Chains A and B, each alone.
Chain A
Amino acid sequence: MLTNKYYENFITANEGIVNRRQLLKDIIETEEKTGVELLDWEEVQLSIFLQGSVSTAGVSKNFVVLKKFADFICKQENLPKRVYTFEQESLLDYVDKDSLKARTLSYAQYIDIKNQFNMEDLKTGERINTRNSVIFELAWTGLTNEEITNLKEEDIEFIGDIAILTLGERIVRLEDTEIIENVKLCMKETYYMVLNKTGFYNKYNYRDSEYLIKPANVGRSKDGNIKSMSIAFSNILRNYDVKCEGVNIEELCLNDIRRSKMIYMLAPENEEMFDMDTIMGIFNLRSASSLLWLKEIAKEIYPV
């Protein structure tokens, strides 16, 4: 198959595409399942391949990678470009709704998981590892992985009962007193405790850093912030053995937390309280198109 022939070349030539290896493997798997090679795909094969994403953006992204790979093969083989068509309006049909719902938190589930991050030093009674709570809470507030990673302490201003976060050109207001308290504790925190396999806790000092979420001072790296916030969050969920009924904890990521809050605000019962402009502002969205499909999902998750 041509896909196997050009697999490695495409991978090497497209380092900027995240998750490209898995996507190409999915393409090859679909070819094997349907018995049809990529350059001969019609809508049937496209549907099978595109099923499984938890967002319309994910579906679009996968389609773009597929087209790029097909163009790459055509160029190498001196073939005319293959044109793929499918209905943009039916993006929602390709979203794996069951998987999405299992990765969407209601407010009660958010509180349940938030409480599981609360940890105290048994000797002093002080809160420890507040960094974990802050990562989770900031995602719920609407910050992206990148914004949480790059948030510096100097970008946080406490005024009365609120905190103002300056994220480049974007300003975010924190009004939840518990989150504000956790941010303050996180700024003062100097070490992190990790449960090891023998059942004891290891203590790691944080690296000296201007960032709010600091990495532990291990290894040779001198970076002041965490390289991959999504991996860090997965490790936290595993280390704390977090459980929540109805939630697929193994697949849960920070994007899911952020999306959960969007869906909560789009619930029919909250329609009067939060208009599209407000939600776009909170989540820094350029257009409302991504909210339209989430609104449909919200109707199913929060039925009237």
Chain B
Amino acid sequence: MQEKIKLLTNLLTTSTLQKNQIMNKIVQTIQRTEDISKAKVLKERIMNGNFSRITEGTIDDLIKAFSPVVESKVFEKQERVIKINTNQEMNSNKDLNMEFRIKELEELLAESESKAKEELEKRLQAESLMLDLMCKLNINDRFELVTVTEEEIQKKYTDFLIGDSIQVDLSLLNKIILKEYYKIK
């Protein structure tokens, strides 16, 4: 526990953040497990070097919160070295990124083609069921063929998505919209 307190004190004194930023960060970290009223009191104690009522869990959280500031500075330095010394590597990195991007797009295309195929199968199935039903119902002059326009379909979807529709529309739930259907006159 004493070693952790020493480490935390060290991190706080070597931090490049402004004093206000350090205090805010302490409060935000402690607030994950304690109410803000307590977090502010503990912050004052920590800033004064008083760790008497600070739990080990809180100290661990604070060490974690203040550690990345030091590590990222080291990481940045390494990156700068790479950029200055290896222009050739950067070019080959560009090619690698391009290849990766092409692969991503190919996968997306395959996915959307497979989805389109699925939709088509569903539509054909629905039409076949419709034909069966027409035969069973012995469709004749009593029935009127209704065509659904694109605008009507769009409105149905919009109402469904924004929740204005209060009726459960089975065709929407099954993601099938029939463009034509028979209605009894």
Contact = CB atoms under 8 A, between A and B. Distances in A.
Instruction: Give the bracket for the number of chain B residues in contact with chain A.
Output: 10 to 19
B41 interface: yes
Contacts of A274: 37-38, 41
Contact of B38 (A110, A203, A273, A282): A273
Nearest to A272: B53
Chain A, interface residues (CB within 8 Å), range: 20 to 34
Nearest to A269: B53
A175 interface: yes
A193 B183 CA distance: 36
Contacts of A261: 35
B163 A175 contact: no
Given A196-B166, A200-B166, A107 B35 contact: yes
A231 B152 CA distance: 41
A272 B45 CA distance: 12
Interface string B55-80: 00000000000000000000000000
Interface string B18-62: 000000000000010111111011100000000001000000000
B168 interface: yes
Interface string A262-275: 00110001101110
A107 B165 contact: no
Given A273-B41, A273-B53, A200 B163 contact: yes
A108 B35 contact: no
Interface string A157-193: 0000000000000000001100000000000000001
Interface in A4-32: none
A175 B53 contact: no
A198 interface: yes
B33 A198 contact: no
A108 B57 CA distance: 14
B36 A176 contact: yes
Nearest to B31: A176
B178 to A, nearest CB: 23
Interface in B147-185: 161-168
B163 A203 contact: yes
B163 A107 contact: no
Nearest to A176: B36
B36 A175 contact: yes
A201 interface: yes
B168 A198 contact: yes
A274 B39 CA distance: 12
A265 B36 CA distance: 11
A282 B36 CA distance: 13
Given A107-B33, A201-B163, 8 more contacts: A176-B31, A176-B36, A198-B166, A199-B168, A261-B35, A264-B35, A269-B53, A274-B41
Interface of B: 31, 33-38, 40-42, 53, 161-168
10 contacts: A193-B163, A196-B166, A200-B163, A200-B166, A201-B163, A202-B166, A273-B41, A274-B37, A274-B41, A282-B37
